[in-house]
């Protein structure tokens, strides 16, 4: 049997591909274990600055848990990693979902785990498991409200309705919509753009934004300030480069 998950280094990116197109890239127990292993490889590889998560076949990003093999998932429900592999873990580096086609149920929860989400214009997203009484247990109830707000999140969580890429973009669920079959290419462009930035300060800002969410403002500001001394030398070096005329017209990721 082929590996259900492929891990490839493409430039500064680690591309993690769910490779079960015959099952719309649904995740069974073996696939969840392979996803956890791929996450570990990414975290251990200092040269991999961004993880890009995608699905093979051009039909689906991921259709969620494989409901024809729920028995293989039973032992993962309460684990620290998460049923679908790594959904209860927080990566130390940026992550991008490259979505092409169906992004449903636990597959949408995997996309929500990522920092950024890039989808083709024909993609469809939602939580249809509502119809079968399957709960959201891979972070969807917590991450979706943080991304789109509680009202919009409850709309999708309670109704189980499916939305197209345009509506997902309008509510802030998607970072960008791209043409058919180009989501992975665009995600890799973003990855190279993020990798080109000075890493120390970018990662410190990312940590503060994630850890500070939900804290009272004064606590969040204190958390942000605490990173200042550790990255001050990097900030000074960057300011000196700017003063010398470097990078003033440079394009960042997504430009």
Point out the residues that are catalytic.
Answer: 109, 129
Going by C-alpha positions, the residue among 241, 190, 164 that lies closest to residue 53 is: 190
For residue 168, what are the β-bridge partners? none
Give me the residue label for tokens 């309705």: 161
**Using an 8 Å Cβ cutoff, are 5 and 19 in contact?**
yes
Q: Which two tokens stand for residue 192?
A: 């190279």
What span, in angstroms and rounded, lies between the C-alpha atoms of 132 and 84? 18
SS3 category, 139? coil
Q: List Cβ neighbours of 217 (8 Å cut-off, separation of 6 or more).
A: none
**Using an 8 Å Cβ cutoff, are 50 and 95 in contact?**
yes
């Amino acid at each position: 049997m082929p590996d259900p998950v492929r891990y490839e280094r493409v430039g500064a990116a680690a591309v993690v591909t769910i490779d079960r197109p015959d099952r719309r890239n649904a995740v069974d127990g073996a696939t969840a274990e392979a996803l956890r292993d791929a996450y570990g490889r990414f975290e251990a590889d200092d040269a991999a600055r961004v993880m890009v998560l995608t699905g093979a076949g051009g039909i689906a990003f991921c259709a969620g848990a494989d409901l024809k093999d729920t028995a293989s998932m039973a032992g993962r429900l309460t684990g620290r990693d998460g049923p679908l592999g790594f959904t209860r873990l927080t990566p130390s580096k940026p992550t991008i979902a490259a979505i092409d086609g169906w992004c449903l149920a636990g597959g949408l929860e995997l996309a929500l785990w990522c920092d950024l989400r890039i989808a083709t214009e024909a993609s469809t997203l939602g939580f249809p498991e509502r119809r079968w009484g399957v709960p959201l247990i891979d972070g969807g109830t917590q991450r979706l409200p943080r991304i789109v707000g509680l009202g919009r999140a409850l709309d999708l969580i309670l109704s189980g309705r499916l939305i197209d890429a345009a509506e997902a973009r309008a509510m802030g669920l998607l970072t960008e919509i791209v043409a058919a079959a180009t989501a992975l290419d665009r995600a890799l462009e973003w990855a190279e753009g993020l990798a080109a930035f000075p890493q120390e300060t970018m990662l410190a800002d990312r940590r503060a934004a994630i850890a500070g969410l939900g804290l009272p403002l004064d606590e969040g500001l204190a958390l942000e300030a605490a990173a200042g001394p550790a990255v001050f030398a990097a900030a000074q070096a960057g300011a000196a480069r700017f003063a010398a005329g470097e990078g003033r017209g440079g394009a960042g990721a997504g430009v």
